[in-house]
Amino acid sequence: MENVYFDNAATTKLDDEVLQAMLPYLKESYGNASSIYKLGRENRKAVETAREQISTVLNCNPNEIYFTAGGSESDNTIIKGTAHGYKSKGNHIITSKIEHPAVLETCKQLEKEGFEVSYIGVSEDGIVKLDELENAIKDSTILITIMFANNEIGTIQPIKEIGEIAKKHNIFFHTDAVQAVGTVRIDVKELNIDALSMSGHKFYGPKGIGALYVRNGINFDRLVAGGHQERGKRAGTENVPAIVGMGKAIELAYANLDEHNKKIKELRDYYVKQISEKIPYIKINGDMEKRLPGNSNISFRYIEGEGLLLNLDLKGIAASSGSACTSGSLDPSHVLLAIGLPHEIAHGSLRISIGKYNTKEEVDYLVENLVEIVNRLREMSPLWEEFIEEEKK
């Protein structure tokens, strides 16, 4: 097999229906959505239709949706925007140790500006500790930002409970839902969510487009200055084709959500069962119930995750490592360390994220090659030799 793709948490294949919806706005209807003539009005209407498609899914008002360039910009906009917008009320922010770098790095920047940030721990299953979160609240706390679902281990956080805690203490609550939107049903009112970040390419839409939900009445400073697009909160000419694509993608995702989730979860569970039976000395990371349907993160002892990735790639299989070494760092994943994994085990982790286009035949191909690769890498590992010698004693 060639080009067997199991990295859907990183990005997804563009849906053909999404592409068809985008094409007219890439060619014939190319007007600027801020222009008042017909070609511009057509594009403005398309933008507002997409805004309605997203707001319908989240159960919010269309004017609470702001388009951005992606999840990272959405996170930066709302975290920095509320921190600066409410600085007169306090300077304390609460987040978790397993957030995406778009949140963690933003918080680190704010710390340099004088803001105080509390980083809440998680259980060994990757679930945020609610008691620790509530105990961290101070009179100066202005923002709680906790991700909806983790991008590495797939754990779904107790968002409703966190929203209730925030509401009880009159604190603004933001969730990075980049991994959850398109997979989990989300009602922002029911869950007491004040702001939510999302990204189109995580649910078979185009790259380079995201959205930010912010409840009406919340004040936040804009990140991108310039024109008056997005009600003065995000300057720049609207990327109409991508916005149209994101609207269509989210509509399709929720029209077929249960069907796709059932198939994806069955493939994920089949994969985990096969690996558990055929490869010894592994550890499944993260809660298996409170988890995204397509996510699995498994640590293979006595090998490096980077070696797994490179060998899988030679077989035409795309996956992701739980180690950050593939991005130039020698440090293992901060998420795996946060759930208590020692460095040597965290380094040997593999994330497989299954999507709607994957098949059982592809999973079988993955398992077959993974068994062979793990056995071969272990035979080459000094750590494996030491382990075998210890077992013989």
The residues assigned a catalytic role are 325
Which residues pair with residue 321 across a beta bridge?
350
Q: What gap in Å lies between CA 252 and CA 200, rounded to an integer?
A: 12
Cα–Cα distances (Å) from 45 to 50, 56, 73, 242, in that order, read: 9, 16, 24, 14
3-state secondary structure of 318: strand
281-284 LR contacts (CB < 8 Å, sep 24+): 283/341, 283/345
**Cβ atoms of 149 and 182 closer than 8 Å:** no
- DSSP code string of 102-150: HHHHHHHHHHHTT-EEEEE-B-TTS-B-HHHHHHT--TTEEEEE--SB-
3-state secondary structure of 159: helix
Cα–Cα distances (Å) from 34 to 43, 63, 230, 231, 240, in that order, read: 8, 16, 10, 11, 11
Cα–Cα distances (Å) from 385 to 86, 230, 278, 388, in that order, read: 57, 60, 20, 5
Q: What gap in Å lies between CA 192 and CA 132, rounded to an integer?
A: 20
**Cβ atoms of 308 and 325 closer than 8 Å:** no
